[in-house]
Amino acid sequence: MPELVFSIDTSQFVKNLVGQFRAMRDASFFAIDESTDIFVDKMKSRIKRSSPSGREYHFRYASGFQLSRYGPTKEGAGRPTHIASAPGEPPAILSGELLGSFSKRTIFSRGHTRIISYIENHSKYALWMEYGTLRTGWGGPIHPRPFMAPVVYDAALIHKMLIRVRNAMKNAGHAYGAR
């Protein structure tokens, strides 16, 4: 009885597919990492553009504390005063510590199935500014002055990031012959 046998060598196809996957994964990693820089820059610009329209108060500062050149302060006969931002607005700059405390890192998850990008602010009062406090020893609660969340949830920035990732993956796929 006659037989019909097909022999197909898929090793080159699989090899090409694995290479294409790695190229697309790496391209998306770098696109997300670069997009994270855009998010950090946007957070910093929100703080720099904040308008000091809140409460004016006197403050004490420790030795070595430098007033920021951006800070909305007034020098008087006694202690300097600071004009805070209004609740709901990004924090007004006093020392510049909040601006200088941003860091970001982008990593692969275990198994390389997800790309995770972290944006952190290591300032000792960043959490208080972002979410507020119930009360303090200096006369009441600190109302939230979010500077990170509005940027992270900005749909236009997320859309730009997704377009950047899509284009990077598309270009990486074309390098391996994908259409």
pLDDT digit string, tens, across residues 99-108: 989 999 998 8
Q: Looking at the 3D structure of the chain, how many domains does it have?
A: 1
Asked whether residue 13 is assigned to any structural domain, the reply reads no
pLDDT mean over 159-164: 90
Of residues 69 and 143, which shows the higher confidence score?
Answer: 143
pLDDT mean over 162-176: 83
Single out the residue of 178, 175, 161 nearest to residue 30, CA to CA: 161
pTM equals 0.74
Asked whether residue 30 is assigned to any structural domain, the reply reads no
Buried b (16+ CB within 10 A) or exposed e, 40-78: bebbbebbeebebebeeeeeeeeeeeebbeebbbeeeee
Asked whether residue 21 is assigned to any structural domain, the reply reads no
Residue 121's pLDDT band, with cuts at 50, 70 and 90, is: very high
Asked whether residue 39 is assigned to any structural domain, the reply reads yes
* Least confident residue range of 61-70, 79-88, 112-121: 61-70
- Give the pLDDT confidence of 8-53 residue by residue, as tens digits: 666 776 777 778 888 888 888 999 999 999 999 999 999 988 877 8
Share the mean pLDDT of the chain: 79
Residue 113's pLDDT band, with cuts at 50, 70 and 90, is: confident
Domain interval for residue 101: 35-175
Asked whether residue 49 is assigned to any structural domain, the reply reads yes
Question: Are 165 and 31 in contact, with CB atoms under 8 Å apart?
Answer: yes
Asked whether residue 19 is assigned to any structural domain, the reply reads no
Asked whether residue 14 is assigned to any structural domain, the reply reads no
Q: How far is residue 3's CA from residue 7's CA, in Å, rounded to a whole number?
A: 13
Asked whether residue 23 is assigned to any structural domain, the reply reads no
Reduced to 3 states (helix: H, G, I; strand: E, B; else coil), residue 102 is: strand
